[in-house]
Amino acid sequence: MPIRVLITRDYDEMSRRAAEVVSAVIRPGAVLGLATGNTFLGCYRELVRMHREMGLDFSRVKTFNLDEYVGLSPAHPQSFRHFMDENFFNHVNIGAGNIHFLDGMADDLQHACQKFEEAIRAAGGIDLQLLGIGTNGHIAFNEPGSPFDSRTRVVELSEGTRRYNARFFGSFDEVPTHALSMGIGTIMEAKKIVLLASGEGKAAAVAGAVEGPVTEQVPASVLQRHPDCTFIIDEAAASRLSRVHMGYPELG
């Protein structure tokens, strides 16, 4: 199934369209897979606005975040849990017990990953998975070379990813070397997937994912095999696509 591509004028429109897709799946018992990163700041801002102004109700929604650094506590300012608290969870009516996060501080990291997979299954699977994309084509922290059938596990971060994320830390050396990440096989089981990308820096990765060969060297290319995957990307991120993807496809 080819990836549907929705090209927006800019970051703000990308964020609004993404929030609309999220709000359309919100119902009691809905299960959302969430991502962190700059790409999602506008989307979460918009969802918070929809909660405040339109009563969008997260009280019976369950969430699973894609990844977390190993060795950072939830309160650490650079942890993904902290990012989610600051930018989303603290501003909507989501129940604390409905938030599922990988525990990068667990004594037994592999066991923490297994528990996370079991919790996804017990929730009935993920209805909508949000994804960002790395400049190297990674999804979650599945770096190039990650097996397509990988499950949630401990991963080593590539040097490029650590350098890209170093802007949030005091220095490159402070960026953790490992993370826990949902696997590609796990991500592919989500019923619906929406990937967001903004800016020219993501254009090559987007083109590789949408139009390139399906290869483990470009993890996001696996999404070409998903039955319901949409990229919502701004014009800059779309600038290397060779086919014309314009207009507003039905997002279902």
87: annotated active-site residue: no
Query: What binding mask, one character per residue, do residues 167-206 give for ligand F6R by CB under 6 A, x or -?
Result: ----------------------------------------
Nearest to 41 by CA among 216, 211, 199, 244: 199
- Please report how close the Cβ of residue 31 comes to ligand F6R at its closest, in angstroms: 17
Give me the torsion for CA of 50, 55, 59, 63, rounded to 10°: -10
Q: Minimum distance between the CB of residue 54 and ligand F6R, rounded to whole angstroms?
A: 26
* Contact yes or no for 126/210 (Cβ under 8 A): no
The single residue of 46, 67, 68, 117 carrying the catalytic annotation is 67
Is 76 an active-site residue?
Answer: no
x/- binding map, residues 72-111, to ligand F6R, per CB under 6 A? --------x-------------------------------
74/201 Cα distance (integer angstroms): 29
For ligand F6R, which is the closer residue by CB, 50 or 187? 187
Of the candidates 127, 143, 165, 234, the residue annotated as catalytic is 143
Stretch that binds ligand F6R, among 23-31, 135-143, 220-228, 231-239 (CB under 6 A): 135-143
CB 101 within 8 A of CB 74: yes
Stretch that binds ligand F6R, among 55-63, 69-77, 133-141, 208-216 (CB under 6 A): 133-141
Place of tokens 């019923």: 191
C-alpha span between 204 and 207 (Å, rounded): 5
Look at strands 128-131 and 192-197 and give their pairing.
parallel
Q: How many CB atoms sit inside 10 A of residue 107's CB?
A: 7
Of 65, 136, 142, 165, catalytic = 136
Name the segment binding ligand F6R (CB under 6 A); options: 33-41, 50-58, 88-96, 112-120.
33-41
Residues between 36 and 75 that touch ligand F6R (CB under 6 A): 36-39, 66-67
Instruction: List the beta bridge partners of residue 213.
Output: none
Query: Is the distance from CB of 11 to CB of 5 less than 8 angstroms?
Result: no
| Catalytic site positions | 67, 136, 138, 143
